Amino acid sequence: MEDRNGRLHGVFTDAETGKLWFALTLSESLLTVQKLDSPPASSSSAPEQLDLADCLGSRALTRDRDALLCAYFYPHRRRWMASGPVRQREERQFRVVLKTAGNDNNGDEEEAEGAKLLEADRWVRAIRNNISRLVKSQDVPSLSPTRRSCGVMVLVNPQSGRGQAMALYNTHIQRMLTEAGVPHTLVVTERQNHARELVRSADLSQWDAVIILSGDGLLFEVVNGLMERPDWEQAIRTPLGILPGGSGNALAASLHFYSGASPVWGEDLLTSCGFLLCKALLSCQVSGLDLVSIRLSSGARLFSFLSLAWGFVADVDIESEQFRQIGAIRFILGTLLRLASLRVYRGRLAYLPAGDSEKGDDLTTDHLVAPLDEPVPQGWTCVDEQEFVLVLAMFQSHLSEDFHVSPDARNDDGLIHLYYVSAGVSRAALLRVFRAMQTGSNLHGACTHLKYVRAQALRLEPLCTDGMMTVDGERVESAVVQAQVHRAAARIVR
């Protein structure tokens, strides 16, 4: 029954025994559940209010000639040992009760069964409508809506992180996408560069979005595979999604932070990111993702969304690969080991301080940089040739789930957040810097040897053979390199 305010009212019983009675009221933002003492009489207990903002979806089921209304909620709940409330799944089921009971022949029974299912469907549709109305009314950053109809491709790297991505898909993500009513197709990667080759030749018009359940390495492959297509200008506008299934999960942790959600880790982060992703897919929300074009000395051009690191941070990233079985803690362990045998790296650094940058600028050329064999253009700042402990260019807030390096960064700010630490820094001071990175504290003033600037382009020239260089956590040749940010060049579901 619908009242004058468009609220839906109905009487249901519990799904298991059919002996407990409930009055349900569906408003624009709440599903109110009132336990009744006896049908259809009064209530004595306080009603339970289920927030539709926490609801992913709803569906109708039949069981033993009855119809069930199911709704899937992910409210924040306190949990033993967790630092704060975390999203936890709660499935609610109610059995439909028809006003006219008493069926004594088969024909009536079938009719009653059909009527119950129709009633459950009516509630399902109303819940879904209210959910999508609710997400659309929120102030979510959006470039332009995706078409939603074809479904999403979910790429899973079974080897990422501790090798648990497939299990995470089976236990969490498949169920969440189904609950949200998002059609999806699973593609399991079989080897390195499989995803890159796949998106290079895929018919992208089949998909509303390509979702990556893995670490940042697989998304790096996808972005660069899209950029290798003849139709790259169109292809790179394919909405991409990321879910944390690797060991670093920097982009997933960054997007989660930008959403304003409280920090969580591990499977709690996956649940929260899965929830946010499904909601964004339901409301067709995509946002810009900065891409940084990186030119290596070999002439190769890569597209990065996360970081360019040289020295300490790159060494830790690559050296800690051997500890990948312990997950994100590998970076903390690697940091402590590298601190114990601190090295310095001779090199030159120059950058173009941040100015105005336009969204969706032309990716065809890097117009802000000069060829590598020429001096940097006028207007650039040249740092004196020196020994560095690290150079780290951040394009997102997080370097991994545990390293919240650049709290001011955003996915489409058009900025390179450039940090460098000069030689001479004490181990204690460096440890303070890494402690600050873990907590997401502002690094300005954390140590006199640490400098932070916002840039649009940079050139980095290692003058020593020690020290590794990484782009988005992937090792590249440690030689002269240039980078220019292209604001919101790709699109991310968020």
Query: What is the closest distance, in whole angstroms, from the C-beta atom of residue 399 to ligand ATP in the complex?
Result: 10
Asked if residues 113 and 65 have their Cβ atoms less than 8 Å apart, the reply is yes
Q: Is 120 helix (H, G, I), strand (E, B) or coil?
A: helix
Percentages helix, strand, coil for the chain, rounded to the nearest 5?
30, 35, 40
DSSP 126-192: HHHHHHHHHHHTS----SSPPP-SS-EEEEE-TTSTTTTHHHHIIIIIHHHHHHHT--EEEEE--ST
The nearer residue to ligand ATP, 135 or 437, going by C-beta atoms, is 437
Could you please report the per-residue DSSP string of 269-327? HHHHHHHHHHHHHHTT-EEEEEEEEEEETTS-EEEESSEEEEEHHHHHHHHGGGGGGGT
Neighbours of 73 (CB within 10 A): 21
β-strand 239-244 against 209-214: which pairing, if any?
Answer: parallel
Nearest residue to the partner ligand ATP, using Cβ: 215
State the nearest-atom distance from the C-beta of 168 to ligand ATP, in Å: 12
Q: Are 71 and 31 in contact (CB under 8 A)?
A: yes
State in angstroms the smallest separation of the CB of 286 from ligand ATP. Answer: 22
Interatomic CA distance for residues 456 and 452, integer angstroms: 13
Task: Report, in Å, the least distance between residue 178 CB and ligand ATP.
Answer: 24
> CB of 490: closest distance to ligand ATP in angstroms?
17
Residue 430 β-bridge partners: none
Round to whole Å and give the CA distance between 119 and 123: 7
Element (H, E) at 56: strand 55-63
| Catalytic residue list contains 216 | yes
Q: Which is nearer to ligand ATP, 331 or 351 (CB)?
A: 331
* Least distance (Å) between residue 473 CB and ligand ATP: 5
Pick the catalytic residue: 216, 290, 412, 472? 216
Q: Cα separations (Å) of 413 from 400, 408, 454, 486?
A: 19, 9, 11, 10
Shortest Å distance, C-beta 157 to ligand ATP: 4
| Cβ closest to ligand ATP, residue 71 vs residue 468 | 468
Pick from 40, 493, 468, 490: nearest CA to 222: 490
Q: Residue 104 is encoded by which pair of tokens?
A: 């004594």
Smaller CB separation from ligand ATP, 320 or 456: 320
> Quick one: which of 214, 175, 169, 142 has its CA closest to 72?
175
Query: b/e map of 212-226 (b: 16 or more CB within 10 Å)?
Result: bbbbbbbbbbbbbbb
Classify the C-alpha dihedral 110-116-122-127 as positive or negative. negative
Q: Which helix (H) or strand (E) holds 414?
A: none
Nearer to ligand ATP by C-beta: 178 or 438? 438
143/195 with CB nearer ligand ATP: 195
Long-range contacts of 162-171 (CB under 8 A, 24+ apart): 162/247, 162/324, 162/325, 162/326, 162/327, 164/245, 165/213, 165/214, 165/245, 165/246, 168/213, 168/243, 168/245, 168/267, 168/270, 169/213, 169/245
Cβ 211 to ligand ATP shortest distance, Å: 13
Nearer to ligand ATP among residue 292 and residue 376 (C-beta): 292
Q: What are phi and psi of 270, to 5 degrees?
A: -60, -45
Which residues here bind ligand ATP, judged by CB under 6 A?
Answer: 157-161, 189-194, 214-218, 221, 246-249, 324, 473
H or E stretch including 81?
A: none
Q: Which one, 193 or 426, has the nearer CB to ligand ATP?
A: 193
Q: Report whether 167 contacts 224 (CB < 8 A).
A: no
Q: How far is the CB of 183 from ligand ATP (least distance, A)?
A: 24
Give min distance, CB of 190 to ligand ATP, in A: 5
Nearer to ligand ATP, 57 or 473 (CB): 473
**146 or 160, CB closer to ligand ATP?**
160
Task: Report, as residue numbers or ranges, the catalytic residues.
Answer: 216
